[in-house]
Amino acid sequence: MSAAGAPLPDADLLSAAFAALLIPFAMVGLAAINAGLGRSRNAAHLMTASLCVVAAAAIAYLSLGFAWQGAAGGPALVLSLGGKDWNWLARQPLFLRGIALSGSPVLLQAWVQLLCVGLTALIPLGGAAERWRLSAMCASTALLAGFVFPLFGHWAWGGGWLEQLGTNYHLGHGFVDAGGSGTIHTMGGLAALAMTWLLGPRRGKYTSEGMPTAIPGHNGVQVLFGCFMAWVGWLGVNTACSILFSGSGLGSAALIGLNTTLAAGSSGLVAAASTRVRFGRPDASLTANGWVAGLAAGSAGCAVVPPAAAILIGIVAGFLAPLVIEKLELRLSIDDPGGAVSVHAVGGIWGLIAVGMFARFSMGRFANDGNADSGQWVAQLIGVATLAGFILPLVYGLNWLLNRFVPHRVTPEGERQGLDLHELGAGAYPEFMTHTDEFFQR
Amino acid sequence: MKMAGFLLLLSGWFLVLAAVVLLRASGPQAVFVLAGIAVEILAFVLLFRAHRIARGRPE
């Protein structure tokens, strides 16, 4: 099914299935980036946590989440508001009951959505790394994958009210998020922000006067390798999601690949150049952050913007990411070791807004949906307002509640020791003398 | 203060929803959507300040 609920041609389904095979590379890339940007004493913990989080997300999503998110054209809870139908929630059976387990387009959609949930769940790990307990991570992920992601996913991808803004209220073609700048990245980035607020900074990150101290990542090569992996994965995410949820069609695959690469490349280059200008040398980790910010920003419009616009989207993302990382750390006391808030939330929001500015709806289902292009920017802003105004409080509230039963933060002793030893009982690099207390105030 | 920030975020979102449901003309609708987003930006200012105060940093 496409976003409009019409059946997709077999060639589109086949290409979406092949593209979906690449999505796990995006997960590997994010996990490698997060682990590389952390200290060596937490590296094994972060990689283990990434595996556990993806597993918890998959189980929670297939047990519960898909029932709320569903597929476009499926059974849904529709309320009438102001004389218009508002599609709020899917009403699929739990545990995928009732869906054909062979040859079903809905099952393909469920699989791609499951992979997207896994990717979303990895993003907060970057922001809350080095102080978040493994069990609490898994429980928090279950809430994200079982309740929060499906809700917004249905609104944006499953024929929900955001997608209907075009047909119901003549706001362009409705909220457009072809590759998931909002559904995956802004949601993950806002979840990371909620966790940094809940957990507070790492011990030793700020002096008693409130000045931040530098805590460099332990493996820059791993971070940059993760960027390459993420790029491959993103080609899959953007292609599969655009075909399945925006009805972009197989003909858009080349444009999607081009735009994804151009947005990431221009963003990474601008991040490298801007850090070169400011610090005298290009900063490797901020360049990596810029690269991923370009991927996140380019996702929403990957199938509907011309390549020149993709470069512009990347340039702005590459300029914003290092700047926001610095402001959050220095001015707003947000300790976000992986840059998840700046890269995914800010990059994602910029990508959504950029669709309203640069999109050309001349292909796929948009060409024939009978809607004019005017008002598209309002639809995009409504989506952004929903993520910030509803999803963020929901994620924060659920995790605040969860914290009463499953404490999120590790003990000070565990943090000093490193989560590898404290939670796993063994370090990532046992043959090396890895760390001292250089980052802790005495 | 943090609670007030989150309530303000929700208020901004409701303003945006109300603009979509109640207003038909595109001009006023866009203005009210922008107003809702402005309320959300105010909420973020409040939330970031609350976080700084909780961390014991001077304003």
> A1 lies in a domain?
no
Closest B-chain CA to A80: B21
- Residue B59 has a pLDDT of 44
Burial label for A134, CB within 10 Å (0-12, 13-18, 19+), is middle
Count the residues in chain B: 59
B55/A333 CB distance under 8 A: yes
B37/A381 CB distance under 8 A: yes
B16/A386 CB distance under 8 A: yes
- The total of other beta-carbon atoms located within 10 Å of residue A317's CB is 34
Helix (H, G, I), strand (E, B) or coil at B8: helix
Does pLDDT of A23 surpass 80? yes
- The total of other beta-carbon atoms located within 10 Å of residue A430's CB is 10
Does pLDDT of B42 surpass 90? yes
Helix (H, G, I), strand (E, B) or coil at B48: helix
ipTM for the assembly: 0.95
- Residue-wise pLDDT for A382-404, tens only, equals 999 999 999 999 999 999 999 99
> Best interface-test mutation with B: which of A86, A332, A380, A398 has the largest number of B CBs within 10 A?
A332
Asked if A303 contacts A251 with a C-beta cutoff of 8 angstroms, the reply is no
> A119 lies in a domain?
yes
Does pLDDT of A2 surpass 90? no
Residue A242: CA atoms inside 13 Å, Cβ hemisphere, count?
A: 33
Within 8 A of A333 by CB-CB distance, chain B residues are 51-52, 55, 57
- Residue A249 has a pLDDT of 80
* Residue A379 structural domain: 16-78+94-205+213-424
Does pLDDT of A272 surpass 80? yes
Query: How many structural domains does chain A have?
Result: 1
- Residue A364 has a pLDDT of 64
> A188 lies in a domain?
yes
Closest B-chain CA to A400: B3
